[in-house]
Amino acid sequence: MRYQFQSESSNLAFKQRHFTDAIKILISLNTLLFLLRYIAQSQFDLAQIFGLSSNNVWPMIWQPFTYMFIHGDFFHVFMNMFVLWMFGSEMESIWGRSEFLKFYFITGIGSGLIWLLFNFSGSAVLIGASGAIYGILLAYGLMFPNRKVLIYFLLPVKVKYFVIFLGLMAFVSSLNYSGSNISHLTHLSGMMIGFIYLKSTWIIQRSRLLLNSYLANIKYNKSIKKEKRLANIQANVDQLLDKVSDVGFDSLTEDEKDKLFTYSKHLGKNIKKD
């Protein structure tokens, strides 16, 4: 399937993109390992070492990470890297390199682990970055739902509908994945993990904002009560001092003298020093 993209604000057929830092690194590593696997295929297969398999994931604990950098054939690596560049470049520009890579590996590793859970007793080997790529597609669809993709350069479809279609296809296909060399379960898992991650991040940020607002409101109410209490104390002190000014200190009762001393001491603690 070939893609052509339009900007959200115009009808231009193609929106130029540049290679951002993380995209450069990911495409370079995937391409390099694809070439190394092709060159060394007569001696050994890198997929047996870096691909994800339940048979040897222990002790090869790096496999849930490295399987994303191994691909089957040229079309496999080309399409994954092309989609990563087309959708991922703008996402990295918005999120920043570290956040983009964090999302990429969370969806990639997470979808691999889910696949491993459902294939723990099998002999299949999982390779490819499709889980992370589908996570990026999901994020792009949420970020720019009304941008259009031209399927086969003919049919314009909004990204949100395109992503929904891919998700439904992955879901239906994952229900009967036996006999296929495409891991639709990994595709679906990448989208689900991406969705949960993005929504949980929003929920955490929203909860943090509400908590800060609640704490600020408590602090404000405490300061208002404190000011009222100090104002009341100051009024009592002024009243006692007026009495001292009119008829002298000895005219105060013992209780009034104690109050004047206590109030004055309390007010003294709240005087700010420069």
- Whether the CB-CB separation of 166 and 134 falls below 8 Å is answered with yes
Regarding beta strands 52-53 and 148-151, do their DSSP bridges make them parallel or antiparallel, or are they unpaired?
Answer: unpaired
pTM listed for this prediction:
0.68
Given CA atoms 259, 265, 266, 270 in this order, what sign does their dihedral have?
Answer: positive
Please report how the helices 97-118 and 184-247 are oriented relative to each other, as an axis angle in degrees rounded to 10: 130
pLDDT tens, 161-208?
A: 888 888 887 777 666 655 566 788 898 899 999 999 988 877 777 777
Q: Look at residues 116, 20, 12 and name the one whose alpha carbon lies nearest to residue 61.
A: 116
* Rounded Cα gap, residues 185 and 130, in angstroms: 10
pLDDT single digits (tens) 96-108: 999 999 999 999 9
Rounded CA gap, 187 and 173, in Å? 10
* R_g of the chain computed on alpha carbons: 33
Structure confidence by residue, pLDDT tens digits, 51-73: 999 888 888 999 999 999 999 88
Question: Tens digits of per-residue pLDDT, 206-217?
Answer: 777 777 777 777
Measured distance CA(186)–CA(212) in Å, rounded: 38
Q: For residues 160 and 142, what is the distance between their CA atoms, to the nearest angstrom?
A: 7
C-alpha 5, offset from chain centre: 25
Most confident of 134-138, 173-177, 252-256: 134-138
- With a cut of 50, say whether residue 77 has pLDDT above it: yes
Residue 261 CB neighbour total at 10 angstroms:
10
Q: How far is CA 19 from the centre of its chain?
A: 21
